[in-house]
Amino acid sequence: MKIATIRTAEGTRAARLDDGGYVPLDAPDAGALLEREGWADAAAAASGDALGPDTALAPVVPQPRKILCVGLNYRKHILEMGRDLPEHPTLFAKFAEALIGPADDIQLAPESSAVDWEAELALVIGRTVRRATEREAADAIAGFTVMNDVTMRDWQFRTREWLQGKTFEGTTPLGPVLVTPDELPGGVRPALSITCRVNGEETQSADTSDLVFDPVDLVRYASTIVTLRPGDVLATGTPGGVGHARKPPRYLAGGDTVVTEVEGIGRLENTARTA
């Protein structure tokens, strides 16, 4: 099943994506839907007139309580950044204000001259979990979506803490849909390809077999620190090919188009614009 958050004249609405379009659901967005007991059965059973494929989309979870991200989780990316493979996941956070829809503009803050792309597979939590066992962690994954962890590198590396470079407002596309694990090869440990293209040039290409810590590992680890709740987003890290690692480095400029795609889930297509 594929779940989206659509934009309507009355506000946002959760919707199920079928071949015929988006079937509106009885929830204001996908995050609110996931908070309801039996959400999957209710979403699958919903009927009604479908909206067309050109329907405007919001971030698939517009207001998650938590957005946890993992740095340095693809082997090749770790090596290109000149680091050793980690013993534990490197976690940082974003705030909901950073999120944009799958076709919205990426806001280039005038304070940064080093805006970089980071294609990522993200998971969305579907049930409350704390100190999860492997089985509990797997059961807590409602599905997967696509994210680009757009990063202001000059701000990220001002200090050893990354937060300030990772959560500028209006920078982080999330969507287009949440896909439940039963529709993906590998289920909660999906075997998927991931790509990023900037102005049509392929800059990142990898598959999730290169992950150091898989989605179930990450839910177990993060839930040891804090309770994970329905609608929380956990981004699993970016593969090699980021602009900062190039020689010389390459960063986004106004008018650049960024296409982020994960096999079996969908694509984000965003244009960088000066804020």
Cα 203 to chain center, whole Å?
Answer: 18
In angstroms, rounded to a whole number, what is the distance separating the alpha carbons of residues 67 and 268? Answer: 18
Closest C-alpha among 210, 221, 40, 229 to residue 134 = 221
Is the alpha carbon torsion for 125, 127, 129, 135 positive or negative?
Answer: negative
Q: Indicate the DSSP class of residue 267.
A: E
User: For the segment 154-212, what is each residue's pLDDT rounded down to a tens digit?
Assistant: 999 999 999 999 999 999 999 999 999 999 999 999 999 999 999 999 999 999 999 99
pLDDT bin (cut points 50, 70, 90) of residue 139 is: very high
Least confident of 12-16, 75-79, 103-107, 252-256: 75-79
Closest C-alpha among 11, 20, 10 to residue 2 = 20
Widest pairwise Cα distance in the chain: 53
CATH code of the region 60-274: 3.90.850.10
Alpha helices in the chain (DSSP H): 30-34, 39-45, 75-80, 134-139, 153-156, 163-166, 215-225
User: For the segment 27-66, what is each residue's pLDDT rounded down to a tens digit?
Assistant: 999 999 999 999 999 999 999 999 999 999 999 999 999 9
- 142 sits in the region (left: phi over 0; alpha: psi -120 to 50; else beta) called alpha
- State pTM to two decimals: 0.96
Three-class secondary structure of residue 266 per DSSP? strand
By 3-state DSSP, what share of the chain in percent is helix, strand and coil, each rounded to 5?
20, 35, 45
Residue boundaries of the structural domains of the chain = 1-58, 60-274
The bridge status of strand 11-18 relative to strand 2-8 is antiparallel
In angstroms, rounded to a whole number, what is the distance separating the alpha carbons of residues 147 and 48? Answer: 29
Look at residue 15 and tell me whether its pLDDT is greater than 90.
Answer: yes
Look at residue 76 and tell me whether its pLDDT is greater than 90.
Answer: no
In angstroms, rounded to a whole number, what is the distance separating the alpha carbons of residues 152 and 150? Answer: 7
Contact 173, 120 (CB under 8 A): no
Q: How far is CA 220 from CA 67, 91, 139, 190, 215, in A?
A: 16, 13, 11, 17, 9
